[in-house]
Structure 1
Amino acid sequence: MDPNIIIKHTLIDASYIQKLVVDCNISPIVQCDFLARGLNDTYIITTENDIYIFRLYRHGWRNKSAILFELNAITQLHEKGASVSFPFRNNDADYLFEIEAPEGLRYGVLFSYAKGERPQINEENSKSIGAALGKLHKQSSSFHLNYERGFDIDINHLLDEPVSYISPLINTYLGSEADQSMKDIVEEVKTELSTKELEIGFCHGDFHNHNMHIHNGELEIFDFDCSAVGYRAYDVAVSWWNLKNNYSSKEKECWDAFLTGYQAQRSLTEDDLQSLPLFITARRIWLLGTMTQNDDVWGTNWVNERTLEFFILQLKTDRLKER
């Protein structure tokens, strides 16, 4: 192989993963299949008695301490009775498998499989989803996390870092005036958030119906890859953002149902409630920044004048609705 080739991400064959997880106390494996590629690679493992998920973390995305932070949080939630996909230890009593991939060291973890399917968005399910997040926030309030995550869900993570990736694109495709318009909106959001007393605590970080399954009326949560300590209101706002972007015809009634479910478990302060529209804008910026930063996942064919103009329009529309 040419030593000058730079390898960013390899896809490990499922047969290798199947041999790797034999080192776990599970029943004989019937089948192992590659399930999905994203910021991490996901495999589904079927045994004689059960189904599991194996996540192979992307090299350079999360370091060992960051992954152990996530697993520590999930394990504590599971021990408190939360319905979450949880990790299994291997025969060495370790959660992490290590793979020396061509691009560098990668870590893998075996998780329980969340039965069922993605919940449809309707008022009943939205109320249940809100209640699930309320319970998660309540159950995690007494956490003692033993590892460094490497980031918090704060202004830097949601706004400053993403803008550093987005700004060059805006300048290239739309010019300096559009770039300044985005930065002005970001500064307005930061100023308004600074005036509020916002609750800080453990957050899932990506809480919407794509990261949960429903089975016999019960929700089970998975994919804590974006979890960290940060603004609880942001965690709530992500579900509102999901409704706005993917279920706009049902937004009002389902958002009302979500809030009813959440506040039946725990209350939101007035400052947290007022900050929710601001975190819609923050979510848009964080997501575009993450996509831009990880072009080996999403590619660059979506980066064009039309897409970026729509992004700026969304930010401006958010601000108009807030006023």
Structure 2
Amino acid sequence: MIHIKHSLIGEKTIQDLSHDYDLPEVTECLFLARGLNDTYVLKTVEDNYIFRVYRKGWREEDAILFELEAIEFAQHEGIHSSIPVKRKDGQHLTKIEAPEGTRFGVMFTYSKGERPEITEENSGRIGRALANLHNATDKFKPSTSRGYELNVNHLLKAPAAIIMKRLGHALTEEQETLLHEAVSKVKEVAENKELSYGFCHGDFHNFNFHLHDGNLEAFDYDCCGIGYRAYDIAVFWWNLKNNYPQQEKTCWRSFLNGYESVRKINEHDKKALPYFVAARRIWFMGILAANEDVWGRAWINGQNMNHFFGQLASDVKYFEEQ
């Protein structure tokens, strides 16, 4: 018996599925990206659209409906995002009977423009956009369950357990000790009842935006959920540290200034920000370790382990100096 983990649906099938939507004539369907989900772009005589096929076992039906409900709630409150498009039957989800089981597809509007460069100006824009999203969703009360929250278990305990299970053979004793120490220190801070808690995008950085005529539009709410707002803020800092280290200080300051020009960050959240950068590192490593069908195992090597744990060691050292 053949076991299929993650099939790739052909473009012709996706284009055929588009007939279930009230779209202009589709002229072309292109496979855009493979990851935790598969993404296609549908080109029509008028606009482009995005069709996302959620991976089996990654997001169940209720979790996807939570995501879509949150996007529509935020849109109603004035937030600019790529939004879901309903089918002709009024439903959001398209069921796809794939070899590995039922998968769900969702059509989204296409965000015009390009990914914004990391500059001080754009960092301020993104900070303001996140503050506006937090303001807009303060009263969001979902009717469906996401299945998880962006809490200590989701960000720390579960990924740390996965790291030890999948990567334990590749870790030194010192690295194992460091991982447990980092989890303990972040957990202690995250248990502060004064931390802000509410709807979070979960992946708010320039890779998930398009900038068009000076306006930002967010997309990819796949990691959203109810959780620590400080974590949602810290994700941008994590992205700067990982991908734009030379611009980290100036752009992080610009991002915070932009955020606080719209919504103030309380002192408890501010003090927690570096701890949530470490939480993001641990969560992300857990995602890599848990999804071999996406990334394989070639990345599990001494160089990458040393890089990750070197960053984590810097985080822990910073905690101890405070």
The 8 Å contact of residues 174 and 309 in structure 1, kept in 2 or not, is answered as no
1:245 is paired with a residue whose SS is helix
Structure 1 distance, partners of 2:163, 2:34, is: 23
> TM-score, normalized by length of structure 1?
0.97
Q: Does 1:53 align with 2:36?
A: no
2:261 is paired with a residue whose SS is helix
Q: Does 1:298 align with 2:295?
A: yes
Q: Does 1:311 align with 2:311?
A: no
Structure 2 distance, partners of 1:226, 1:302, is: 22
The 8 Å contact of residues 207 and 235 in structure 1, kept in 2 or not, is answered as yes
Q: Does 1:213 align with 2:216?
A: no
Matching residue within 85, 88, 94 for 1:97:
94
> TM-score, normalized by length of structure 2?
0.97
Matching residue within 125, 131, 136 for 1:134:
131
Matching residue within 274, 277, 281 for 1:280:
277
Question: Which residue in 2 is equivalent to 1:242?
Answer: 239
Question: Which residue in 2 is equivalent to 1:152?
Answer: 149
Question: Which residue in 2 is equivalent to 1:223?
Answer: 220
Deviation at 1:78, TM superposition (A): 1.2
The 8 Å contact of residues 171 and 178 in structure 1, kept in 2 or not, is answered as no
Could you tell me the percent identity over the aligned residues? 48
Deviation at 1:306, TM superposition (A): 2.2
The 8 Å contact of residues 167 and 289 in structure 2, kept in 1 or not, is answered as no
Question: Which residue in 2 is equivalent to 1:270?
Answer: 267
Deviation at 1:193, TM superposition (A): 2.6
- After superposing the two structures, state which structure 1 stretch, 298-307 or 104-113, moved more: 298-307
Deviation at 1:77, TM superposition (A): 1.0
Alignment of 1:34-53 (within 5 A): 34-53=31-50
Output the amino acid matched with 1:253: T
Structure 1 distance, partners of 2:175, 2:248, is: 29
Residue 157 to residue 26, structure 1, CA distance change in 2 (3 Å) = same
Provide, for residues 222-268 of structure 1, a one-character-per-residue CA deviation record: whole Å limited to 9, x for no partner: 00000000000000000001111111111111111000110111111
Deviation at 1:176, TM superposition (A): 3.4
Deviation at 1:308, TM superposition (A): 1.3
Structure 2 distance, partners of 1:249, 1:43, is: 33
Cα RMSD for the two superposed structures: 1.1
Structure 2 distance, partners of 1:36, 1:294, is: 16
Question: Which residue in 2 is equivalent to 1:78?
Answer: 75
Question: Which residue in 2 is equivalent to 1:65?
Answer: 62
What stretches of structure 1 of length at least 5 have no aligned partner?
A: none
Residue 194 to residue 144, structure 1, CA distance change in 2 (3 Å) = closer
Provide, for residues 135-183 of structure 1, a one-character-per-residue CA deviation record: whole Å limited to 9, x for no partner: 0000011112110000000000000000011113553123334212211
1:141 is paired with a residue whose SS is coil
The 8 Å contact of residues 170 and 176 in structure 1, kept in 2 or not, is answered as no
1:54 is paired with a residue whose SS is strand
Output the amino acid matched with 1:46: K
1:225 is paired with a residue whose SS is coil
Question: Which residue in 1 is equivalent to 2:190?
Answer: 193
Structure 1 distance, partners of 2:303, 2:79, is: 43
Query: Which stretches of structure 1, 4 residues or more, deviate above 4 A after TM superposition?
Result: none
Output the amino acid matched with 2:100: E
The 8 Å contact of residues 153 and 231 in structure 1, kept in 2 or not, is answered as yes
Structure 2 distance, partners of 1:80, 1:192, is: 32
What stretches of structure 2 of length at least 5 have no aligned partner?
A: none
- After superposing the two structures, state which structure 1 stretch, 290-299 or 222-231, moved more: 290-299
Question: Which residue in 2 is equivalent to 1:184?
Answer: 181
The 8 Å contact of residues 182 and 278 in structure 2, kept in 1 or not, is answered as no
Deviation at 1:5, TM superposition (A): 1.1
2:144 is paired with a residue whose SS is coil
The 8 Å contact of residues 63 and 144 in structure 2, kept in 1 or not, is answered as yes
Structure 2 distance, partners of 1:167, 1:309, is: 15
The 8 Å contact of residues 233 and 276 in structure 1, kept in 2 or not, is answered as yes
Question: Which residue in 1 is equivalent to 2:10?
Answer: 13
